[in-house]
Amino acid sequence: MYRPRLIPAVFALTTVTASLTQAEATTLTFIENNDLHAHLTAALDTVIKNVQVVYGSHGGLARVVTLVKQSLAQNPIRYE
């Protein structure tokens, strides 16, 4: 058995096990915003849905801000 590798492995396993017993559950939310540079403001859009024309909008930085605020309201950031 190769002992120099065994000692750090045992130390790491002990440290991880001790930290797992004291950890609490945390929710991590990822919000991706891709190609936002061309869509800072919402743009009007026409979509055909179920053989019916539906008018709406897409894009816009305000929508991203709204999603971030909703996410923070559900899971506030805590610094300890």
Mind listing the pLDDT tens digit for each residue in 5-39? 667 776 676 666 655 556 667 677 777 777 777 77
Nearest alpha-carbon partner for 73 in 40, 41, 27, 32: 27
Please return the burial class of 52, using the count of CB atoms within 10 Å of its CB with bins 0-12, 13-18 and 19+. Answer: exposed
Q: Are the CB atoms for 43 and 55 separated by under 8 Å?
A: no
Give me the number of domains the chain comprises: 1
68: pLDDT strictly greater than 70: yes
Q: 55 forms bridges with which residues in the sheet?
A: 46
pTM comes to 0.48
Nearest alpha-carbon partner for 66 in 31, 35, 27: 31
Q: Is 80 within the bounds of a domain? A: no
Q: Is 50 within the bounds of a domain? A: yes
What is the domain range of residue 23?
3-74
Q: Is 30 within the bounds of a domain? A: yes
